[in-house]
Amino acid sequence: MLLPFREPPAEESYPMKQLPDTQPEGPASNSDPTVGAQYQWSARFASRYPEFWGFMKGWVTVFSWIVDVGVGLAVLFNMISSLIIFNDESYEPTGWNTTLYMLAFVAGPLMYDLFTRKTLNILGNISGVCHWL
């Protein structure tokens, strides 16, 4: 049974209520259940220019995933590079060093995921239990 769409209470609302992105997604998911539908909700519940808001939400999501993947590797490289510079002052990192280190950081988890698939469920369960504790 679908619940009717309701406006959120004042304590849940955001200052920029005119933007469809800023509304809590719980009421939208109850009134229009669609898998992965943030951009569709933005388009459906927008008061003006629904196609524009749906398009923008889709691209904002794409760029946020790209940044999310890259930022952790960049921070990790900066930490490793700082440790190298701290121990060897003649070292000067260049652009290709960043790319090489980031690919090296990705290679380990990728190889683990490819060649030890059977242990992923076990490790996921263990980490879930540890997180719960």
pLDDT, tens digit, 9 for 90 and up, residues 67-104: 888 888 888 888 988 999 999 989 888 888 888 888 88
For 118-129, the pLDDT digits (tens) are 888 888 889 889
Decide: pTM greater than 0.75.
no
Name every residue whose Cβ is closer than 8 Å to that of residue 126 and which is 6 or more positions away in sequence.
none
Asked whether residue 63 carries a pLDDT value surpassing 70, the answer given is: yes
| 78, 84, 89, 95: CA torsion to nearest 10 | -50
> Going along 25-130, which residue ranges are E strands?
none
